[in-house]
Amino acid sequence: MSEVRRVGWIGTGIMGVPMARHVLEAGYRLTVHSRTRGKAKPLVERGAAWADTPEALAADADAVISMVTDSPDVEAVYLGSAGLVRSIRRGALAIDMSTVAPATARRVAAALAERGADFLDAPVSGGSWGAEQATLSIMVGGEPDVLERSRPILELFGKSITHCGPVGAGQATKLCNQILCAGHLVAACEALVFARKNGLDPRTMLEAVAGGAAGSWVVSNLAPRMIARDFAPGFMIDLQQKDLRLVLETARETLACLPATALANQLLTAAQAAGHGKLGTQALIETAESLNTLIHEG
């Protein structure tokens, strides 16, 4: 329960690097580990130490933060043969900011509890830009007192920090977020297809509807990129699909019937089949248009 000074960081992808940099810049002593050592270079160059394994990294850390891709990655980092649970100190904080299954969060928390370490699931939304600017929204599952101890670190990444419930509730909330994003994405595609089929100027259509009951972040931010054919990834289709897989797996386990989310998942699968997995989710418009043989008209 002592003050956090030494932080271990695992995961140096598009989100992990800028987030870890905020930790360094706030004056914490940072040790970093990632699957690909080269990707930790920008952090090591700024003074972070390197650890060869999660186990080595956790041995003298007051807090450990993970930001990796998927449930199996989190399980490996925490529970694997050189995982964090082997060495984590009593009273240390472990915060997983990846987006994974709520069940994974609960499994990891239980294993850490046996070692006397505390866990939060704290997935984020806001993308790489939010990570750079420290404007992420953070959805936290875990004990309130663990959140309070973690707050000074979490505030390095964003000011919108919501306590969603016990361990797993942060992940479940993030999955609700993805259900909404996916539904809004498909709706925007269908509105734009209908607009083109009916001879409307799509920009004028958006202008007319975006301010009212049809408005959404997706309509305001992604639909204009769909029209402009700007498919640079704010959030990649492959990652949206990973998150929808988590949604639908969790929905199956909890017997939640989500037909529109399942449809969005299928349409995004068509986008992946067309080779668009590394593009931003707004590239789904290409699939929607190809269903309407509009693809070569634009």
- Window 229-258: residues binding a copy of itself (CB under 8 A): 235, 247, 250-251, 254-258
Q: How far is the CB of 98 from a copy of itself (least distance, A)?
A: 17
In contact, 26 and 156? CB cutoff 8 Å: yes
Q: Rounded to whole angstroms, how far apart are CA atoms 102 and 106? A: 6
Residue type, 298: G
270 binds a copy of itself (CB under 8 A): no
Q: Which helix (H) or strand (E) holds 125?
A: strand 124-125
**How many residues belong to the site for a copy of itself (CB under 8 A)?**
72
Which range of residues in 1-9, 41-49, 60-68, 163-171 is near a copy of itself by CB under 8 A? 163-171
Contact residue for a copy of itself among 44, 50, 143, 216 (CB under 8 A): 216
Neighbours of 215 (CB within 10 A): 12
Q: Which helix (H) or strand (E) holds 272?
A: helix 259-273
Q: How far is the CB of 155 from a copy of itself (least distance, A)?
A: 16
Contact residue for a copy of itself among 221, 228, 229, 278 (CB under 8 A): 221
Parallel/antiparallel/unpaired status of strands 137-141 and 160-165: parallel
Q: How far is the CB of 173 from a copy of itself (least distance, A)?
A: 5
98 binds a copy of itself (CB under 8 A): no
Alpha helices for 59-143 (secondary structure H): 71-79, 102-114, 127-133
Closer Cβ to a copy of itself, 49 or 193, answer by number: 193
Which range of residues in 40-48, 54-62, 91-99, 217-225 is near a copy of itself by CB under 8 A? 217-225
184 binds a copy of itself (CB under 8 A): yes
Q: Rounded to whole angstroms, how far apart are CA atoms 257 and 272? A: 24
Question: CA torsion 98→101→106→112, rounded to 10°?
Answer: -40
Question: CA torsion 144→148→154→158, rounded to 10°?
Answer: 80
Q: How far is the CB of 113 from a copy of itself (least distance, A)?
A: 19
Parallel/antiparallel/unpaired status of strands 63-66 and 137-141: unpaired
Q: How far is the CB of 221 from a copy of itself (least distance, A)?
A: 8
Parallel/antiparallel/unpaired status of strands 93-96 and 124-125: unpaired
Q: Rounded to whole angstroms, how far apart are CA atoms 150 and 68? A: 19
In the DSSP assignment, the letter for residue 138 is E
Positions in 132-151 near a copy of itself (CB under 8 A): 137, 139
Which range of residues in 51-59, 87-95, 113-121, 125-133 is near a copy of itself by CB under 8 A? 125-133
Closer Cβ to a copy of itself, 83 or 170, answer by number: 170
Contact residue for a copy of itself among 14, 187, 274, 295 (CB under 8 A): 187
Contact residue for a copy of itself among 164, 239, 279, 284 (CB under 8 A): 164
174 noted as active-site residue: yes
224 binds a copy of itself (CB under 8 A): no
Closer Cβ to a copy of itself, 60 or 135, answer by number: 135
Paired with 96 in beta bridges are 66, 121
Catalytic residue among 39, 41, 159, 174: 174
The alpha carbons of the chain give a radius of gyration, in whole angstroms, of 21
So which residues are the catalytic ones? 174
